[in-house]
Structure 1
Amino acid sequence: MGKGRTVMEVGDDGVAVVTIVNPPANVITLDVVRSLKGNFEEALRRNDVKAAVLTGNGGIFSGGLDLSILRAIQKKELETIKVLFTSICDATDIIEAAEKPLVAAIDGLALGGGFEITLACQARISTTRARLSLPELQHGVIPGFGGTQRLPRLIGLTKALEMILVDASLFLLCHPLSKAIKAEEAHQLGLVDAVVSTEELLSTARCWALDICESRRPWDRALSKTDRLESAEEAREILNLARTQAQKQAPNLKHPLICIDVIEEGIVSGPQAGLQKETIAFQELILSNTCKRLVHVFFSQRETTKIPGITDLGLIPSNVRKVAVVGGGLMGSGIATAMILNHYPVILKEVDKKFLIAGIDRIKANLQSLVRKGKMTKEKYEKTLSLVTGVLDYEIFKEVDLQVFADLERHCPSHCILATNTSTIDLTLIGQKTNCQNRIVGAHFFSPAHIMPLLEIVCSKLTSPQVVIDLLDVGKKIKKTTIVVGNCTGFAVNRMFFPYTQTALLLVDRGMDVYKIDHACKEFGMPVGPFRLADLVGLGVALATGMQYLENFPDRVYKSMLVSLMIEDKRTGEASQKGFYKYDGKRKAIPDPDVMKYVEMSRSMTGATPDPELVKLDDEGIAEMVFFPVINEACRVLDEGIAVKASDLDIASIFGMGFPPYRGGIMHWADSVGAAHIHGKLSEWEVKYGQFFRPCSYLSERAIGGVPLSAPTEQAKARL
């Protein structure tokens, strides 16, 4: 929070180059801002300085505001916020009002607060690899250093709203930077004035600054520009449309709407009024629960790479160069796609030519989808597809370094990692007939594997730390967020979420409507409810995994007949065009009244009677009944040491199951609700509906002792 600096060098041409130096990402800290302000003031005083250039060290302009500052403010260090805003406002005011021109020279990333500083400059020059973004909404705040006011004046209201608000929906997927503006687009928008090579960046920026100084180029002050702004009537229509879209994309969130109000204030009442409202809104939002939770998610994601007893051993990743995938079905083809998209050659093995062609076709379809969306050129498509080699035997497997496991020990070299994508089966059972259990590891991808951001790495007691290090490296290279967990049925993610569907089935047998439950879960913030999710994964898969849990956790599995009855009637989910919903050849899920007859049969067979109290539950009450058993199982996962850190389960719930990140993840949300409340409700439901809801000892002890559920156990403290 208090490190970093800027360095100023004045050349013979009279241009002062001010460089942000705060590796690795040149984030904006209080020290950086103070140093920046000091250098600007010096440059303005000195007679030998005609103009200035602002740039970043090490091939990156700035990664934005150091989020440790937000954490400090949230911990009641309120003096920090006053110093921060005074310093940054002073710096941007100096830049905007300076009598000497300042040009931003942008290489690499220019994000958030760093990007906002460039908007106060009189011009911006970038390299071809520059990426510009305002991701503040992902952290529960809005651009707070003038971005809401300067950006619309530079590129127009419509494009500015796209840049600022697009992340209102993106952070629901936790995929930051996926909509960063590239250099060429920024140039077309007028956001940067020229795009040059890295070698030419500083010399071009220096010349540009001198040209402005000597009136050969226009002197643009962003806050004074109005030529790009739409008319008042057009602006009103655009802003109202943006509000409608924001409410549709993120109905539980207020800060996107606050951001639109701030932008509107600047258009209606002028830029200074807009800046004032921006500052007030930013300061208030920093202390909001949404911001606290999203900042927690940000730091928790970083912590997933720190695994006690593995990443602290000084091991260096081996160079995995080739991957084999056994089976080209939905998951196998998705994993292969994820690998080739990140330049790994893949051998795809199938049992016969028909299945092999089908697997290759799935990979082609995955890549063609990227081409249609403009994310991949046809040339890149051909080059990427060429990395896949289809085979029907194991002869070529002697060359691979990573193998998605199918008991192929004798076909692979001794250094090959044997990784299984099973989502539930205990690794010990998978490897019990091999002599290389130290090389067996779980590499659990989530469907669709080339899109979903989580990779769950599962270690048995025999898995080598080196194997985990190697798989962590592969996960990083294929752009996955990884969590490392222990071995058990369902591992961490699927195990803690198996009650999600189980509870929903219990509620239906007790009289609740299938679609009311799904609606309540979506209102809570989930991308889909439990029944739509069952259709997506397939009811056959749901039943098979349910049997695994029944075998291993018989005391806490609800035995509904509903899924079995539907499968018997060939209602197997989206793939068959009918499950809990009907699809009519499209992905749109349509409620199906015919489902009710299966519900009635299930109720009859299980002897369950409708409960009028349950039927009257509102969305909040339904969400509690669905998610409190998930929290209960997550507590067991922590208690057993399957996961060491509660924050890992937060990340797993968000990236693997779509739990709303603005709630902070499953355990963070649980702490906000309170262990005592969760324990009380589960105990009440146990009396009414059976032992399925019985609180575990971990939850009971913490509810009684007033200890947060996310606080580490003594065992975890020893490991950490």
Structure 2
Amino acid sequence: MNTAHYDTHGNVAVIRLDNPPVNGLGLPLRQGIVDGIKKAEGDSAIKAVVIIGSDRAFSGGADISEFGTPKMLGEPNLLTVINYVESSSKPVVAAIGGACMGGGLELALGCHYRVSKPDAQISLPEVKLGILPGAGGTQRLPRVIGAEHALNMIVSGAVMPAKMFNGSALFDEMVDGDLLDGALSFAHKVVSENLPLKKVRNLKAKHANPEGFFMFARNTVGAVAKNYPAPLKCVDAVEAAVTKPFDKGMEIEREAFAHLINTSESKALRHAFFAERLTSKIPDVPSDTPTRDIKQVGVIGAGTMGTGISINFLNAGIPVTIVEMKQDGLDRGIAAIRKVYEGRVKKGKMTQEKAEAAMALVTPSLTYDDLKNADLVIEAVYEEMGVKESVFKKLDEVCKPGAILASNTSTLDVDKIASFTKRPQDVIGLHFFSPANIMQLLEVIRGKETAKDVMATAMKLAKTIRKTAVVSGVCDGFIGNRMINQYSREALLMLQEGATVQQIDKAIEKFGFAMGPLRMADMAGGDIGFAIRKRQYAENPNMKKMVVADRLGEMGRFGQKTGSGFYRYEPGNRNALHDPEVDKVVDEVRKELGITPRKISSQEIVERCVYALVNEGARILEEGIAQRASDIDMVYLTGYGFPVYRGGPMHYAEEVGLLNVVRAMETFAQNPDAEPGFWEPAELLKKCAAEGKRFDEYATSKNQ
């Protein structure tokens, strides 16, 4: 039962919060706290109350399962609960262990006293959801730790150990032993010494120079926050705690909360929050599906991807055997891994001892035979089916039964790769993104015969190596690269139609992408895109050719790696510089194709690129390649630099309005230079637009 358990220990009542896993403050739990306070107040034998959670959490804040439901604001809401606690006629002690975050910390601040384990984790992380603490956090925290410390915590959402605030008014006592015993002992002390009912609201939030401090804070926060309105509202609320009476400060906090929760940025951040938690759920693979032990990993290829992939497992303490065909390549790979760890030590992010321990887990090898005991082998070799075939046939011979064989392919058919083995059920795609040891996204490609326990193992392993895993079915490019292909094609077509390289990238970066499509192509390597296009041209002769990009490829302009692509690059410098040679190529291509260049607006650039993503994403959903629209958004938020404050391409399209998206696509289809059929809306997009449904809502109703 997700509630609060009431018990007595002599003359002290104990209200134990019980809503696993982190004691989210759902409606039943909130009601249980209020009932407990009432019961204690009605019992003359009870002289004090202790509120305590589990070893894992006092409370992690709001119950996310209630978000978007009437229960979220149902009475007693959190403000009501805190009022009951604060106005109790008997002293209430919060006993804090584990996570004490968001509404959990606000509840604790409403108690008369707080005792804590030194390693308890304290934070007000609401800003990460585009809102601010809405139950007094911005008003009470500055009163107990000071305005500067409180503002830093609230604006950053950072998690801090409780021991950092030992000696402040936030905590009355640190408990080294059993938390409940310590809390009961402290409660008995409060009663025996007849200590007053301390209310945080009655304390003064002070600052020696509030006008100067908050002016500085606004300038600093404003420069960093940019597209996020919540941090500046946090400054306003904390300033109110210092300069206004408590009740007026609460009004300002509530007004800011009500405003922020309806902003597009907060909706996008909350969407991303839930989307990330949904990615690990596979409908036909129950959460209790047994997983395979992964104690030893093999990696084929010691290039950029192979070494980056290896570092993920080394960081998690999992031994890795790296196999390369030639000694010099193997030596370069091991040196590259060592360089990463040396860099982390130099920056103070890792101790020398931990770096050496990680390197000790690496076994370099020139033979597949050293993989015979591996539980998982990931190939990271050249992106060509013939090469993959030879690798997987060899792995099938060498690897033990039950070993998972994975391909890091970014576009190729995982089912075909699996067919090269006698164990297709053990084959999976694990598509890491470069640099593999840094990028958060991991596409988990499920083949038609991939076993359920292999899927469960891959998703569990992703958490171990701190990746956001998104499941994809098998198709050319999977989710991310299949969609980015359409996005890039539109950018290249607009380049031919009249836009400049710089204009295209500037428009997309102003929209919020980390990098424009042409800069991104230069960073990824133009040779990769060139090879993919040539393969696609062969498979689909009617496909419209990207002549400018192909011409640059023929010239050997492959981006940063060659010093020239859509831009030019000076040695040792990754800054993209304008190159008149590219302008010349563009002009020549336009003349060859008979195109009279026209002015293209930034709005058209953004809409054509982003709506190309959306339309292909809808097709991917139709085909069952992606499980849900929010999974597609997570691919783009964690792997392609889509602006987080816009929530991902599918969420963004829904916020714009799917009817408006379809309308714009109809306009683009009238462009005489458009590829025939390209702007035909996907059936799912048309249905959702016509019926006023969101993508995942339609999929849910269709399956009911």
Q: Do these two structures clear the TM 0.5 threshold for a shared fold by scoring above it?
A: yes
The answer to whether residue 40 in structure 2 is matched with residue 9 in structure 1 is: no
Q: Confirm or deny: 8 A CA contact 1:506 1:558 kept in the other structure.
A: no
Q: Confirm or deny: 8 A CA contact 1:493 1:653 kept in the other structure.
A: yes
Match of 1:484 in 2: 471
For 1:639, give the aligned amino acid.
Answer: E
Q: 1:137 aligns with which of 103, 122, 127?
A: 127
Q: Confirm or deny: 8 A CA contact 1:670 1:709 kept in the other structure.
A: no
Using the size of structure 2 for normalisation, the TM-score is 0.89
**Worse-superposed segment, 156-165 or 315-324:** 156-165
Instruction: State how 1:168-179 maps to structure 2 within 5 Å.
Output: 179=158
Match of 1:317 in 2: 291
Using the size of structure 1 for normalisation, the TM-score is 0.87
Match of 1:150 in 2: 140
Q: 1:632 aligns with which of 615, 621, 627?
A: 615
Distance 1:371 1:228 in 2: 40
Distance 2:118 2:356 in 1: 24
Instruction: State how 1:340-379 maps to structure 2 within 5 Å.
Output: 340-372=314-346, 374-379=348-353
Q: After superposition, what is the alpha-carbon deviation per residue over 1:47-93, rounded to whole angstroms, capped at 9, x for unaligned? A: 44443332212532212101343312xxxx4xx56645x64223323
Change (3 A) 1:709 1:588: same
For 1:420, give the aligned amino acid.
Answer: S
The answer to whether residue 58 in structure 2 is matched with residue 61 in structure 1 is: yes
The answer to whether residue 530 in structure 2 is matched with residue 543 in structure 1 is: yes
Q: Confirm or deny: 8 A CA contact 1:149 1:266 kept in the other structure.
A: yes
Q: Confirm or deny: 8 A CA contact 2:414 2:428 kept in the other structure.
A: yes
Q: Confirm or deny: 8 A CA contact 1:16 1:52 kept in the other structure.
A: yes
Q: CA RMSD in A?
A: 3.2
Q: Confirm or deny: 8 A CA contact 2:405 2:426 kept in the other structure.
A: yes
Instruction: State how 1:523-562 maps to structure 2 within 5 Å.
Output: 523-552=510-539, 555=542, 558-562=545-549
For 2:144, give the aligned amino acid.
Answer: L
Q: Confirm or deny: 8 A CA contact 2:471 2:627 kept in the other structure.
A: no
Match of 1:495 in 2: 482
Q: 1:278 aligns with which of 245, 253, 259?
A: 253
Match of 2:217 in 1: 239
Match of 1:170 in 2: none
Distance 2:254 2:535 in 1: 54
The answer to whether residue 515 in structure 2 is matched with residue 517 in structure 1 is: no
Match of 1:306 in 2: 281
Change (3 A) 1:144 1:714: closer
Q: 2:160 aligns with which of 175, 181, 205?
A: 181
Q: 1:505 aligns with which of 487, 492, 510?
A: 492
**Sequence identity (%):** 31
- What's the offset of the Cα at 1:469? 2.0
- What's the offset of the Cα at 1:612? 2.9
Change (3 A) 1:431 1:272: same
For 1:59, give the aligned amino acid.
Answer: R
Match of 1:663 in 2: 646
Q: 1:20 aligns with which of 17, 25, 30?
A: 17
- What's the offset of the Cα at 1:701? 4.2
Match of 2:388 in 1: none
Q: After superposition, what is the alpha-carbon deviation per residue over 1:415-470, rounded to whole angstroms, capped at 9, x for unaligned? A: 11110111111123434433222222100112222232222111222222232222
- What's the offset of the Cα at 1:624? 0.6
Q: After superposition, what is the alpha-carbon deviation per residue over 1:385-438, rounded to whole angstroms, capped at 9, x for unaligned? A: 322222221222110010013322112112111101111111234344332222
Q: Confirm or deny: 8 A CA contact 1:122 1:220 kept in the other structure.
A: yes
Change (3 A) 1:602 1:379: farther
Q: Confirm or deny: 8 A CA contact 1:70 1:286 kept in the other structure.
A: no
Q: After superposition, what is the alpha-carbon deviation per residue over 1:481-537, rounded to whole angstroms, capped at 9, x for unaligned? A: 222221111011111121222211222222212222222222222222212222322
Q: Confirm or deny: 8 A CA contact 1:645 1:712 kept in the other structure.
A: no
List runs of 5+ in structure 2 lacking aligned partners.
380-390
Q: Confirm or deny: 8 A CA contact 2:54 2:97 kept in the other structure.
A: no
Q: Confirm or deny: 8 A CA contact 1:509 1:602 kept in the other structure.
A: no
Distance 1:435 1:523 in 2: 50
Instruction: State how 1:322-341 maps to structure 2 within 5 Å.
Output: 322-341=296-315
Distance 2:344 2:24 in 1: 32
Q: 2:93 aligns with which of 100, 103, 117?
A: 103
**Worse-superposed segment, 587-596 or 152-161:** 587-596
The answer to whether residue 248 in structure 2 is matched with residue 262 in structure 1 is: no
Match of 1:695 in 2: 680
The answer to whether residue 439 in structure 2 is matched with residue 452 in structure 1 is: yes
Q: Confirm or deny: 8 A CA contact 1:139 1:295 kept in the other structure.
A: yes
Q: Confirm or deny: 8 A CA contact 2:130 2:229 kept in the other structure.
A: no
Q: Confirm or deny: 8 A CA contact 1:150 1:222 kept in the other structure.
A: yes
Q: Secondary structure at the match of 2:51?
A: strand
Match of 1:391 in 2: 365
Change (3 A) 1:354 1:91: same
Match of 1:113 in 2: 103
List runs of 5+ in structure 1 lacking aligned partners.
168-178
Q: Secondary structure at the match of 1:103?
A: strand
**Worse-superposed segment, 474-483 or 487-496:** 474-483
**Worse-superposed segment, 535-544 or 111-120:** 535-544
Distance 1:230 1:102 in 2: 32
Change (3 A) 1:556 1:99: farther
- What's the offset of the Cα at 1:370? 4.2
Distance 2:607 2:338 in 1: 42
Q: Confirm or deny: 8 A CA contact 2:94 2:114 kept in the other structure.
A: yes
- What's the offset of the Cα at 1:135? 2.0
Q: Give the number of aligned pairs.
A: 689
Q: 2:374 aligns with which of 385, 400, 406?
A: 400
Q: Confirm or deny: 8 A CA contact 2:431 2:443 kept in the other structure.
A: yes
Match of 1:37 in 2: 34
Change (3 A) 1:193 1:590: farther
The answer to whether residue 180 in structure 2 is matched with residue 202 in structure 1 is: yes
Distance 2:478 2:501 in 1: 28
Q: Confirm or deny: 8 A CA contact 1:126 1:192 kept in the other structure.
A: yes
For 2:256, give the aligned amino acid.
Answer: A
Match of 1:222 in 2: 200
Distance 1:257 1:235 in 2: 14
Distance 2:255 2:475 in 1: 49
Q: Confirm or deny: 8 A CA contact 2:214 2:235 kept in the other structure.
A: no
For 1:683, give the aligned amino acid.
Answer: E
Match of 1:176 in 2: none
Q: Confirm or deny: 8 A CA contact 1:239 1:264 kept in the other structure.
A: no
Distance 1:228 1:550 in 2: 69
Q: Confirm or deny: 8 A CA contact 2:378 2:407 kept in the other structure.
A: yes
Distance 1:293 1:274 in 2: 27
For 2:159, give the aligned amino acid.
Answer: A
Q: Secondary structure at the match of 1:482?
A: strand
Match of 1:684 in 2: 667
- What's the offset of the Cα at 1:11? 1.9
- What's the offset of the Cα at 1:129? 4.2
- What's the offset of the Cα at 1:9? 2.6
Distance 1:547 1:210 in 2: 78
Match of 1:410 in 2: 397
Q: Confirm or deny: 8 A CA contact 2:441 2:469 kept in the other structure.
A: yes
Change (3 A) 1:29 1:422: same
- What's the offset of the Cα at 1:710? 1.1
Change (3 A) 1:596 1:307: same
